[in-house]
Amino acid sequence: MNNTVTILCSGFGLGFYVPGLLLERRLTALGIQAEIEVFETLMSDSKKQQTDNSRKAYQQSFAVALTSQKIPGDIRGSLDAAAVEHLLQQWKQQERQRFIVLSGHWVHVMDRYRELAGFPVEADLLYIDADLSPSWKNLRRLNPGYAEGYREVSMYDPAKCEILCSIDAGLAEALPASARNGRLVVHGGGWGIGTFREKFDSLESAGYELDIAAYSTQEIGEAVHGRRYYMNDPEWRTWKRDSSGQYTFPPFAGVTVSQADHFPPCHNYEDGMYGVIRQASAVISKPGGGALIDSLASGTPLVLLDPFGPHEKINSDLWVELGYGIRYGEWAEMGFEREALRKLADNLQSVRGRYPDYAASYAEQLSAAEGRS
């Protein structure tokens, strides 16, 4: 049998893509061969274009983005049957039997593969958010028993206010509050959605300098009040491999009004926005699953904006309850005080290493199953 662990990601948001890359690298470092697949490679070009169009619409209107979550859908209508069949036959020929699934969209494909394979197939369904995100909820609506035969792994238990496991973001150590630069990172997740653009003036009026994520050249402003802008290459797409055939972190750069057309490859996670985040005093963002992973790994508190759906509301509640984040409105009422951020950073620093590393636990289980422990 093939010992490669196949990690199934989605480009519908970087929160379902970047964690897969981090897991791939961590497993590789632990001596386990791992490989990424991205769901959008199984979609027709027209459906990929629709995804791009949706992203632009969501950036322009958070209300449109929120409404889209309430519309039931069946992702199977977006699949290219020939592409799916090709991938399934490739997996069968290679005898792939170990998978980690980050998006509910992939379970439709995995169900077919289990029927086709002719040998045992093991898969973890890894939940990146504290509650089911839309891909999982749509899957549950279509198939209430979707998890049968799979191993469900939750990163969080909101009922018990617990973090059950973490995802390692690299070798860089979390900085104590005293070693940070005092700046705030302001972003809207991988797709640039939410209310973050409305907060610049208030934060600057409170005396903060901002590191702002731009999502198009039109969003890059002048470097007033110490502003710095950063951007992922707007032409990069999660479903496109690089020249060596690998999936990558998005090419990334600091940008200005006059210089926004050169985006070097991002070889390590800390070469991108995460490297800016780990030096900041806090991140102002919607409470997506990726934001939680970054916060815990970097020790950087979250100032939580309006959530993108019910699952992000639960993410937000959990981070506040744990003392790792504060809601924007509450912080504003406190006068945007720096001491509040320092306390949150100290809380995060105090739990360094407390939460089990999912990839390391996965590797230990593989070792035990193979009799090598």
The DSSP symbol for 305 reads: -
| Res 7 pLDDT > 90 | yes
Task: Give the mean pLDDT of the chain.
Answer: 93
Are residues 125 and 32 in contact, defined by beta-carbon separation less than 8 angstroms? no
Cα Rg of the chain (Å, integer): 20
- The one-letter code for the residue type at 66 is L
Given a cut of 80, is residue 184 above it in pLDDT? yes
User: Which of 189-193, 266-270, 282-286 is least confident?
Assistant: 189-193
What pTM does this model have?
A: 0.94
3-state SS string for 79-145: ECHHHHHHHHHHHHHHCEEEEEECCCHHHHHHHHHHHHHCCCCEEEEEECCCCCCHHHHHHHHHCCC
Three-class SS state of 283: strand
How are beta strands 210-213 and 228-232 bridged, if at all?
Answer: parallel
* Least confident span in 98-102, 298-302, 335-339, 364-368: 364-368
| Res 373: pLDDT | 43
The encoded tokens of residue 246 equal: 């690998």
Q: Is the pLDDT of residue 71 over 80?
A: no
Q: For the segment 292-302, what is each residue's pLDDT rounded down to a tens digit?
A: 999 999 999 99
Q: Is 298 within 8 Å of 324 (Cβ atoms)? A: no
> What is the predicted pLDDT for the residue at 326?
98
Q: Within a 13 Å sphere around the CA of 17, how many CA atoms are in the beta-carbon half?
A: 22
Query: Coil, strand or helix: which one is 220?
Result: coil
Between CA 137 and CA 142, with CA 139 as vertex, the angle to 5 degrees is 110
**pLDDT above 90: residue 70:** no
Give the pLDDT band of residue 46 (cuts 50, 70, 90): confident
Q: Which domains does the chain have, with CATH numbers?
A: 5-167+357-370 (3.40.50), 177-350 (3.40.50.2000)
